[in-house]
Amino acid sequence: MYDGQLKKMLAYVAAAIASFVAQLTVFYFATGGNAVPHIAPAIIVTTLLWFSQCYFSIAVVTKYHELKVLEHELGITDVRGRIYYPNRPRFGKLWDKFHREHLGINKGDYKKLACRLDFGTAIVLLLVTLMYVYILLTIFKIV
């Protein structure tokens, strides 16, 4: 079950990256002063890319939260700490300390994790939406 959820999250990450690269390409063309020959297809493509970015960012965060809860329930975090931690590089230990303590994973505080993930998702959605609006304004030659 854990393996399947992890693979699904990685597929979401790959799809999110692909749609973001496509949106950046549209952004580049729109802001570069390149003429858009047909406005309707440009709006449709831009809107679909914006929607996919919103969808995949929410999907990735949801899967990440599920994976962390599954790791806790399956005891993976305990086993992982005993096996890898003594030989872990310093920067890896620093990352673990910051990541696990800041998100509340060490204490099993999944409410705190959800709150932090919601905040990060809101920032991503805001930035993606701002880029989407800017592209639309550029297509309509308002900016």
pLDDT at 35: 62
Q: Structure tokens of 123?
A: 């920032």
Angle between helices 110-139 and 90-103 (to 10 degrees): 90
DSSP state of 38: -
Is residue 39 within 8 Å of residue 140, measured between CB atoms? yes
Q: List pLDDT tens digits, range 14-32.
A: 999 999 999 998 888 887 7
Q: Structure tokens of 33?
A: 């002063």
Q: Structure tokens of 77?
A: 């975090």
Q: Domain limits of the chain?
A: 2-139
Q: What is the pTM of this model?
A: 0.84
